[in-house]
């Protein structure tokens, strides 16, 4: 894959995941490379 293709793929992934995080009442902490750190219900921290 070209770097531009990878950037496009990650942007699509992050957009979809961010929408799901907010839909379920989660809090987005930060993007970490190709991962996301988030909090759901204020108790558990997940890394995807």
Which pLDDT band, with edges at 50, 70 and 90, does 47 fall under? low
Rounded Cα distance between 20 and 10, Å, is: 15
Q: Does the CA dihedral 25-7-31-47 come out positive or negative?
A: positive
Rounded Cα distance between 18 and 26, Å, is: 9
Domain, as residue range, for 10: 3-47
**pLDDT above 90: percentage of residues in the chain:** 40
Q: pTM to 2 decimals?
A: 0.72
Rounded Cα distance between 11 and 13, Å, is: 5
Residues 6+ apart with CB under 8 A from 21: 27, 28, 36, 38, 40
């Amino acid at each position: 894959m070209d770097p531009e293709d990878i950037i496009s793929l990650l942007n699509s992934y992050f957009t979809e995941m961010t929408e799901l995080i907010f839909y379920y009442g989660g809090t987005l902490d930060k993007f970490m490379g190709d991962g996301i750190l988030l909090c759901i219900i204020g108790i558990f921290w997940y890394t995807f």
